[in-house]
Amino acid sequence: MPARARTKTLSPLRLKRRAEFLAVAAKGRKVQRPGLVLQALATGGEIRLGFTATRKIGNAVVRNRARRRLKEAARLFFAEHRIEGVDFVLVARRQTAGRRFALLSADLADAVEKIGPR
């Protein structure tokens, strides 16, 4: 049986293992925006998301907040745009926690657009 049943089928699978993050970083594409860095790797399977916040951007509270805002932005964006077959990693930057949410969302849309032609 799966580790835990996804109650929401529309909430995408999460990347959890270090190896998965490393694979995306090593083999995928990368786009930088003021609010985030987006990494993408075509896999052909279901869409999967990973979130990264390093110690460089702040203490635990700041890192948590940055990651949650990225999650919210991603949730809203991918509800509108169905994309399959890609692993995305959203990396928080110093500005992520403080940037206005509308700008952060625009950063994400921009980044997906630019990285789009896989």
Contact footprint for RNA (CB under 7 A): 3-4, 7-8, 11, 14, 16, 59-61, 64-65, 67-69, 71-72, 75, 98, 100-101
Nearer to RNA, 1 or 117 (CB): 1
The upper half-sphere exposure of residue 118, i.e. CA atoms within 13 Å in the direction of its Cβ, equals 14
Nearer to RNA, 10 or 26 (CB): 10
Helix 101-115 to helix 60-80 angle, to the nearest 10 degrees? 60
91 and 36 Cβ atoms separated by less than 8 Å: yes
Nearer to RNA, 110 or 117 (CB): 110
Least separation in angstroms between residue 74's CB and RNA is: 10
Least separation in angstroms between residue 18's CB and RNA is: 8
Least separation in angstroms between residue 71's CB and RNA is: 7
Round to whole Å and give the CA distance between 98 and 56.
15
| H runs (alpha helix) in 1-118 | 18-27, 60-80, 101-115
